Structure 1
Amino acid sequence: MVKLLSKISSSPEGVEIEFNNDPKMLEFLLSRGIIVKNNNFVENNSSNKISLGIAAVGIGADVLEVCRLISWKDFEIFSSEILRFHNYFVYVNYRIKNPTRQIDIIGVRSKNALIVDCKHWKHTSFSALQEAVKKQKERSDLLGDKKQPLGIRKIYPIIVTFLQCEFHYISDVPIVPIQNFNSFLLDFDNYNDNFFYTLA
């Protein structure tokens, strides 16, 4: 899996794979959400690389090696595409001025804004996540204070991680592994009253 991820990452278009000798490999890739065109071509795109990386870690690949093959940019693009899939209007690398802050992703839907901090970390610790939550809450407050013209009422800070994490919430801010981001968004409207938010 890591070899395939490495090949895809080093090829601008993607790679052609011969599955005749190992038909179960094609089945495995498809079951992990990897898009295989014409049953033999895997494109070099953020979605495929993230899905391959998660699959590789899931079967025991070295996390550090996988993280080296997936850029933080791929991680942000993939996260933003999941938001778009759920009908959020998406802003990427949104800047707030005075004081200057950058928000990785803002997803807006039904006057709610999810501000997402993507953590493409090789390992997670409570203290590091606690600091990330503190900074994300600060960005949430700043965005609310600036009365930005995004048509929003409530701002929810969220941390999305590459790795699975034992911490589901810190200070009422959700910590969401990327492989659970889709289901989190599906259930968001049912649970958002339990999350920290800032009023815009």
Structure 2
Amino acid sequence: MKQLYFALLKHREISIKDLSELLGLDERILYSKIKELGRYVTIVNNKIKLNDPLLFAIQLLKQGYSFKDVTKYLDWHDFEKFSAEILGAHKYIVKTNFRLTKPVRLEIDVIGIDLGSGRGIFIDCKHWIHGISRKTLMEIAEKHILRIKKFIKYYSWAKTKWTYFRYLRKIVPIIVTLTTPSIRMHENVLIVSIQELNSTLLDLNMVLDLFGIEPIPVY
């Protein structure tokens, strides 16, 4: 099954015939094994499509497969998409890859806004497969807080780019990593792994209190 899982992660979409030849498995046997994967795959017109590569990869990690083997097939798009989906599941309105080009250049990976409270989650995704050192995490957090301060300074420009920014009242800065981070907070920035993002959002107020993180007012 290991070869099957990694082939799906690598190719994302492939015909049953090609996958059968690649793995040296009879098509009927392969089809039965694919069906066991349930919601992770879709089969249409004899083509197999991996529905959510990052979610599938995380499931493989939970099953004990090598972190190095699994994550080499992931890319930044998988990581940001999954972060956005988690925010959406918590009723945030979500925007990915927000860019401001004037009067300054600014980019934020994932933004979620809760329309009721006005709370915004501003996420910087770091999907580095080999983990991130404590020093590097601190530097990333410092850059992220500067990025948010720049956003607030030019908020009047930013809110013309996305209508939901007009609901924004305060910002929670978060760094999301692929691996478990060596530190959890720096410069008022929360640092969590992608596996922890859902539970973090479930108990966000408690988590912010625990680490002494203060949401940043927009104005």
TM-score by length of 2: 0.73
State the identity %. Answer: 30
What CA distance in whole angstroms lies between the structure 1 residues aligned with 2:55 and 2:15? Answer: 14
1:53-64 to structure 2, matched below 5 A, reads 53-64=57-68
**8 Å contact kept, 2:110–2:122:** yes
Cα deviation code 1:19-71 (max 9, x no counterpart): 49xx9xx5xx67xxx63569xx97423x3x21332233345544333222111
Unmatched 5+ stretches in structure 1: none
Cα deviation code 1:64-121 (max 9, x no counterpart): 3322211110110111011011110111111133321210011000211111011101
> 1:145 — aligned with what?
153
Distance 1:125 1:145, change over 3 A: same
SS at match of 1:175: strand
> 2:32 — aligned with what?
18
What CA distance in whole angstroms lies between the structure 1 residues aligned with 2:95 and 2:50? Answer: 23
> 1:166 — aligned with what?
182
Pick which of 63-72 and 178-187 moved more. Answer: 63-72
Unmatched 5+ stretches in structure 2: 17-29, 160-164
Displacement of 1:6: 2.8
Higher Rg of the two aligned structures: 2
User: 2:86 aligned to 82, 89, 105, which one?
Assistant: 82
Cα deviation code 1:113-132 (max 9, x no counterpart): 11101110121211111111
What CA distance in whole angstroms lies between the structure 2 residues aligned with 1:161 and 1:127? Answer: 14
Distance 1:13 1:105, change over 3 A: farther
User: 2:201 aligned to 177, 185, 196, which one?
Assistant: 185
- What is the aligned-residue RMSD (CA, Å)? 2.8
Query: What amino acid sits opposite 1:163 in the alignment?
Result: T
TM-score by length of 1: 0.79
**8 Å contact kept, 1:8–1:14:** no
Pick which of 188-197 and 170-179 moved more. Answer: 188-197
User: 2:103 aligned to 91, 98, 102, which one?
Assistant: 98
**8 Å contact kept, 1:14–1:44:** no
What CA distance in whole angstroms lies between the structure 2 residues aligned with 1:192 and 1:59? Answer: 31
Distance 1:67 1:8, change over 3 A: closer
Displacement of 1:176: 1.1
> 1:71 — aligned with what?
75
User: 1:154 aligned to 170, 191, 194, which one?
Assistant: 170
